[in-house]
Structure 1
């Protein structure tokens, strides 16, 4: 057989094989024969991070010193330590002190929760109603309902200092700056973080201020200092102080108290225009700290 004829037979054989393979493939497509099925997608594993929040629902009002407080908790229930990011998505006008809680979560037995606080505020002109904060970690979601309540009245006879912005020369780490304008004047609640305590032991003077929402003509200030069964005012209460008002940039003394040994003192004075009120603390009965349970301001 010649070389040319052998090459022709080889090419024809290869071509026949290709045609046959193509035909079988096409027949498979038309008769329902299929290639092996793809592996099923891996199912998404549930998160090993549990989230919790206290309280489970919240009420707030549009005053600077009336924030709502949440405590967020993440717990790793898995077998490996890891980082986790908990995101917070507020609705409407809600303002949060943080939008992200990110933490290293240990894998220990028993489970070790990790917590973080969040302050929730709303502007003064927020429409009362129902809002929400959506929490999410690893696509696990939790919703916190938030109710915005109407503003408290601030007319004649009402406490103008209630919930308004406070400022102080210092604040002890166990107390909140806003504790003396939170509406709680019960000295027995002193250990539950109501009231204000300065942060400079045996160093005077100290100042505690509250800015009024709008200028007002005032003539009376009520001061509640610490005076409980456990902590009597004659031992630990505020002893000496000046009541001052600010109108613009200048502070003016309108009343003075010296040698006080009781828990509640009323200071009245000639009507004065004010946009802020200050208690200038000069001494305490134990000569260590300035302690104010509640400060109230009233118009003429």
Structure 2
């Protein structure tokens, strides 16, 4: 269900200090409309599962101005930013200015509902943020889901967490999901996932790019090693060569693991390493 945007209209007076030189500065009364989407948010204490809010300010007055939108988290909420400052032009039609903020909580955060204060010009709205219980991760569950990812590099169009977000659909590539390295035609590349606790694993599922527009035989990952970190040392437990499929299962003897690595050796177009999703399972 698409949630409506929560809107606060805050009226205030701006002193344009520093914009027109020294001395007495004129002030201009203007309105700022602030919207927060979604209206309420749910998060879980996994490193790669942040909640995302979109903040928008719109100058509805007759004079351009700067505005500072401040964010005040409560409880365990952690934010990627606590202030959003922007120059807001006075144009017709009104021109909104937006910025995202990621909301995270620690793994041990107490489930419940907390408030995130959003304030501009001394006008405030509280956004409810619900901390959900951690999903169970036992035998048969994907141990990599939402866990901390580390990569040798990441292309600017992608996020580091894109290959552990639970989305295996290649049609969402480059818009909603997936990881792509950031060094064109330079191999090897690495994509690691640190497990929340040492676990015995014996299977890795790798989904590489394979869509109607970008088939795996042309754009997918071709050669890679599956490596496991145990007692601080990486060891290769499976190898894939000459792959042209979008989904590859690698099985190996049960091994105690602290982290999983895909050592990317080549892509079918010899340019980038592309992983849509990486899943790790125990015996």
TM over 0.5: yes
Distance in 1, Cα, partners of 2:212 & 2:87 = 44
Equivalent residue in structure 2 for 1:101, among 61, 84, 87 = 84
Equivalent residue in structure 1 for 2:222, among 236, 239, 246 = 239
Residue in structure 1 matched with residue 159 of structure 2 by the alignment: 176
Equivalent residue in structure 2 for 1:130, among 91, 113, 118 = 113
Distance in 1, Cα, partners of 2:105 & 2:122 = 27
1:218–1:274 CA contact under 8 A, matched in 2: yes
TM-superposed CA distance for 1:109, in Å, is 2.1
1:218 to 2:213 alignment:
no
Residues 47, 141 of structure 1: alpha-carbon distance in 2 compared, 3 angstrom cutoff: farther
5 Å matches for 1:36-47?
A: none
* Gaps in structure 1 of 5+ consecutive residues: 1-42
2:229–2:257 CA contact under 8 A, matched in 1: yes
More helix by share: 1
More strand by share: 2
SS of corresponding position for 2:256: strand
Residue in structure 2 matched with residue 25 of structure 1 by the alignment: none
Residue in structure 2 matched with residue 58 of structure 1 by the alignment: 41
TM-superposed CA distance for 1:62, in Å, is 0.4
- Spell out, residue by residue over 1:269-296, the C-alpha distance to the aligned partner (whole angstroms, 9 max, x if none): 1121110000000011111111101001
Q: CA RMSD in A?
A: 1.6
Residue in structure 2 matched with residue 278 of structure 1 by the alignment: 261
- Spell out, residue by residue over 1:177-236, the C-alpha distance to the aligned partner (whole angstroms, 9 max, x if none): 101000111112114230111111111111000000011111111101111122111111
- Spell out, residue by residue over 1:46-65, the C-alpha distance to the aligned partner (whole angstroms, 9 max, x if none): 86111111222111100000
Residue in structure 2 matched with residue 186 of structure 1 by the alignment: 169
1:156 to 2:134 alignment:
no
Residues 298, 78 of structure 1: alpha-carbon distance in 2 compared, 3 angstrom cutoff: same
TM-score by length of 2: 0.87
- Structure 1 runs (4+) deviating above 4 angstroms are 43-47
* Gaps in structure 2 of 5+ consecutive residues: 1-10, 14-28
5 Å matches for 1:8-27?
A: none
Equivalent residue in structure 2 for 1:140, among 123, 146, 154 = 123
- Spell out, residue by residue over 1:103-158, the C-alpha distance to the aligned partner (whole angstroms, 9 max, x if none): 22222222221111111001111122212211110122222221211111111111
SS of corresponding position for 1:48: strand
1:168–1:177 CA contact under 8 A, matched in 2: yes
1:47–1:138 CA contact under 8 A, matched in 2: no
Distance in 2, Cα, partners of 1:161 & 1:68 = 18
Residue in structure 1 matched with residue 23 of structure 2 by the alignment: none
1:195 to 2:194 alignment:
no
Residues 112, 220 of structure 1: alpha-carbon distance in 2 compared, 3 angstrom cutoff: same
Residue in structure 1 matched with residue 63 of structure 2 by the alignment: 80
